[in-house]
A and B are shown apart, each in its own frame.
Chain A
């Protein structure tokens, strides 16, 4: 049976000091979602060079990969994507009524796992750029 409780207005970001773990999870999920949909439009725009010819596509992608800032942005994108995936899994389980009593801990686990995966991936993402 569903129950609800008054969490206050989360859209009022001015009261962020009062946010609980679940509210932070909500804010970070929205933020990472905005970044990912923004990136999807950018990604298709860059990949559209494939409609010009093969050489333009290869040169554009390899030219971008030579830029240090692009490599760091890719690490940021990985962090955002991994968090959105892990917290998304957590939300799917919550929707199914699984792990509701531990949703604070599962949010912290999402953060820690995201950090671990991102840190472990940094060498792969920065390989050959310096």
Chain B
């Protein structure tokens, strides 16, 4: 069948997760920009306002999920881009574990920040 093309076939867990996180991030990134630049002007952000938002369980969980999905999507995207550029062997292994470590550290620090914002830490 020449008139229909699709690459929507199972291509591994990372491939699928990249698409699933993309669908989630499209909505949450747009929401994040709207809320913190248009509803609340970025120049007017205070710790008190952040604290009020982060004390709402739904908002807190959305932001933590936003952090985790964005980190995965970004780090996995960088890894894929470097693989496309042709890295292989030891550099590929170093990049793989370096990015994984960077991602874990970013998520850990982000959760620490979220807890401080909510007044829990």
- A: residues with CB less than 8 A from B are 1-3, 11, 30, 33-34, 36-37, 40-41, 44, 47-48, 50-51, 54-55, 57-58, 61-62, 65-66, 74, 78, 81, 85, 88-89, 91-92, 94-97, 100, 121, 124-125, 127-129
CA distance A74 to B77 in the complex (A): 22
Smallest Cβ distance from A25 to chain B, in angstroms?
Answer: 14
Inter-chain contacts of B84 with A (CB < 8 A): 11
| Residue pair B86, A11 in contact (C-beta under 8 Å) | yes
Size band of the interface chain B makes with A: 35 or more
Q: How far is the CB of A75 from chain B (nearest CB, A)?
A: 10
- A65 cross-chain contacts in B, Cβ below 8 A: 42-43, 45
- Give B32's nearest chain A residue, CB to CB: A81
B residues 40-62 near A (Cβ < 8 Å) are 41-43, 45-48, 50-51
Task: Judge whether B8 is part of the interface by a CB distance below 8 angstroms.
Answer: yes
Other 10 A-B pairs with CB < 8 A, given A33-B78, A40-B106: A37-B75, A41-B106, A51-B113, A51-B121, A58-B48, A81-B29, A85-B26, A97-B4, A97-B6, A100-B6
Q: Chain A residues with Cβ under 8 A from B102's Cβ?
A: 41
Whether the pair A40, B8 counts as a contact (CB closer than 8 A) is no
**Could you write out 30 A-B pairs with CB less than 8 Å apart?**
A1-B5, A2-B5, A2-B7, A11-B86, A30-B77, A36-B74, A37-B78, A40-B70, A40-B74, A40-B106, A41-B106, A44-B110, A44-B113, A48-B112, A51-B113, A54-B46, A54-B47, A55-B47, A57-B47, A57-B50, A61-B46, A78-B37, A85-B26, A88-B22, A92-B22, A92-B23, A121-B37, A124-B37, A124-B41, A128-B41
